[in-house]
Amino acid sequence: MKWRLTWVFWATTALHVAAIAIFTRGFLLTRTELPFHSGCSDVAGSPCAPRPGAAGPNGTGGSERCWTKPAVDRVVIVVLDALRFDFVAPSALFKETKPWMDRLPVLQKLAFREGSSAKIFKAIADPPTTSLQRLKGLTTGGLPTFVDVGNSFGAPAITEDNLINQLVQNGKRVLMMGDDTWVQLFPHHFKRSYPFPSFNVKDLHTVDNGCIDNLLPSLYQEDWDVLIAHFLGVDHAGHIFGVDSLPMIEKLEQYNTVLENVISVLESQSGPGGLHENTFLLVLGDHGQTLNGDHGGGSAEEVETSIFAMSFKKPPSAIPSELDISCEYTLDERFCISSIQQLDFAVTVSALLGIPFPFGSIGRVNPELYALAGGTWNMEELKADKPEHDLKSAEWLHNYVNVLCINAWQVKRYIDIYSASSLIGFSSDDLVHVANLYAEAEATFAQKMDPLSYNSEHIKLSTLKRQINAYFRFLASVAELARSKWTEFNLTFMGIGLGMMLVSLLVHVLAIKMVNELHNGSFNPSGNSGISFGLIYAFFIVVIRACSLLSNSYILEEGKVANFLLATAGVAKIRYSIIKRKMIFEACLFLILICLLRFTIEIGLSKQAATSAFLHSSTSWMIGIDFNHPVLVYILQLLPMLALIGLAYLLYKSTADGSSQRICRIVVMGTIASYVLIVVHWASESNMLGLAQINAARNVIPRIIYAIGIGQMLLLAFSQLCNGSTVDNRSLFSKTVSMLSAWSPTVTILSGKQGPLITLASILGGYCIVMLQNIEEESDGTAKPSVVNPLSVTEWSLLALSMFFCTGHWCAFDGLRYGAAFIGFDEFVLIRQAILLTIETFGFSHIIPVFGLPFLVLRRKLFAQKELLVQLSLAYMMFGLIMAATVTVTILCVMIQRRHLMVWGLFAPKFVFDVAGLVLTDVLICLASLYYFCRPEDHRLEINTSRR
Partner 1 sequence: MGETRKKTKPKASDDEASATGGLASPHAFSLHLACGLSLAAALWIAGAGGESVDLVSDPSRTLRLVWVIECPIAILLYSLARERPAQTSYIRAVVRGALALPAGAMVNALGAIALGAPVGTQYLAKTINWSLVMSTWIVVPAACVFGASWNSWQRIFAFTKPISSIDFMICLPAHGAIIGAWFGAWPMPLDWERPWQEWPICVSYGAMIGYLVGMVASLGFILLRHGHDHVKID
> Interface with partner 1 by CB under 8 A: which residues?
551-554, 556-557, 560-561, 563-564, 567-568, 570-571, 574-576, 578-579, 581, 584, 588, 591-592, 594-595, 598-599, 617, 620-623
Is cis: bond before 99, omega within 30 of 0? no
Looking at the Cβ atoms of 599 and 818, the one nearer to partner 1 is 599
Q: Which residues pair with 808 in a beta bridge?
A: none
- The DSSP code sequence of 507-550 is HHHHHHHHHHHHHHHHH-SS---S--HHHHHHHHHHHHHHHHTT
Euclidean distance between CA atoms 893 and 899, whole angstroms: 11
Across 883-910, b (16+ Cβ under 10 Å) vs e yields bbbbbbbbbbbbbebbebbbbbbbbbbb
Looking at the Cβ atoms of 169 and 612, the one nearer to partner 1 is 612
Whether the Cβ atoms of residue 745 and residue 708 lie closer than 8 Å to each other: yes
| Residues in the chain, total | 948
- If we measure between CA atoms, which residue out of 161, 249, 259, 255 comes closest to residue 207? 255
At closest approach, how far in Å is the CB of 554 from partner 1?
6
How many other CB atoms are there within 10 angstroms of residue 560's CB atom?
Answer: 17
At closest approach, how far in Å is the CB of 278 from partner 1?
48
Euclidean distance between CA atoms 601 and 195, whole angstroms: 32
Euclidean distance between CA atoms 84 and 101, whole angstroms: 10
Q: Which residues pair with 30 in a beta bridge?
A: 147
Looking at the Cβ atoms of 412 and 598, the one nearer to partner 1 is 598
Looking at the Cβ atoms of 592 and 700, the one nearer to partner 1 is 592
At closest approach, how far in Å is the CB of 420 from partner 1?
45
Looking at the Cβ atoms of 265 and 589, the one nearer to partner 1 is 589
At closest approach, how far in Å is the CB of 544 from partner 1?
9
At closest approach, how far in Å is the CB of 305 from partner 1?
25
At closest approach, how far in Å is the CB of 617 from partner 1?
8
Euclidean distance between CA atoms 374 and 363, whole angstroms: 17
At closest approach, how far in Å is the CB of 560 from partner 1?
5
Q: What is the maximal distance between C-alpha atoms in the chain? A: 115
At closest approach, how far in Å is the CB of 673 from partner 1?
38
Across 696-718, b (16+ Cβ under 10 Å) vs e yields eeeeebbebbbebbeebeebbee
Looking at the Cβ atoms of 584 and 835, the one nearer to partner 1 is 584
At closest approach, how far in Å is the CB of 896 from partner 1?
17
Whether the Cβ atoms of residue 52 and residue 520 lie closer than 8 Å to each other: no
Looking at the Cβ atoms of 106 and 902, the one nearer to partner 1 is 902
- If we measure between CA atoms, which residue out of 924, 925, 895 comes closest to residue 910? 895
At closest approach, how far in Å is the CB of 56 from partner 1?
58
At closest approach, how far in Å is the CB of 622 from partner 1?
8
Whether the Cβ atoms of residue 136 and residue 185 lie closer than 8 Å to each other: yes
The C-alpha R_g of the chain, in whole angstroms, comes to 34
Residue 591 DSSP class = H
Euclidean distance between CA atoms 853 and 840, whole angstroms: 20
Looking at the Cβ atoms of 265 and 771, the one nearer to partner 1 is 771
At closest approach, how far in Å is the CB of 580 from partner 1?
9
Looking at the Cβ atoms of 578 and 717, the one nearer to partner 1 is 578
Looking at the Cβ atoms of 506 and 592, the one nearer to partner 1 is 592
3-state secondary structure 372-394: HHHCHHHHHHHHHHCCCHHHHHH
Looking at the Cβ atoms of 561 and 758, the one nearer to partner 1 is 561
Whether the Cβ atoms of residue 475 and residue 364 lie closer than 8 Å to each other: yes
At closest approach, how far in Å is the CB of 80 from partner 1?
25
At closest approach, how far in Å is the CB of 558 from partner 1?
9
- If we measure between CA atoms, which residue out of 236, 234, 342, 324 comes closest to residue 282? 342
Looking at the Cβ atoms of 109 and 575, the one nearer to partner 1 is 575
Whether the Cβ atoms of residue 768 and residue 590 lie closer than 8 Å to each other: yes
Residue 222's alpha-carbon distances to 274, 861, 934, in angstroms, are: 11, 85, 79
Looking at the Cβ atoms of 595 and 783, the one nearer to partner 1 is 595
Looking at the Cβ atoms of 571 and 835, the one nearer to partner 1 is 571
**Angle at 574 (CA atoms; ends 571, 578), nearest 5 degrees:** 145
How many other CB atoms are there within 10 angstroms of residue 815's CB atom?
Answer: 20
Residue 554, H or E segment: helix 552-556
Looking at the Cβ atoms of 618 and 723, the one nearer to partner 1 is 618
* Strand pairing report for 336-341 and 147-149: unpaired
At closest approach, how far in Å is the CB of 812 from partner 1?
16
Euclidean distance between CA atoms 575 and 582, whole angstroms: 11
Euclidean distance between CA atoms 769 and 795, whole angstroms: 7
Looking at the Cβ atoms of 27 and 590, the one nearer to partner 1 is 590
At closest approach, how far in Å is the CB of 586 from partner 1?
13
Looking at the Cβ atoms of 55 and 574, the one nearer to partner 1 is 574
At closest approach, how far in Å is the CB of 919 from partner 1?
28
Residue 14's alpha-carbon distances to 11, 593, 880, 882, in angstroms, are: 5, 37, 13, 17
Burial class (CB in 10 A: 0-12, 13-18, 19+), 119: buried
Euclidean distance between CA atoms 204 and 634, whole angstroms: 41
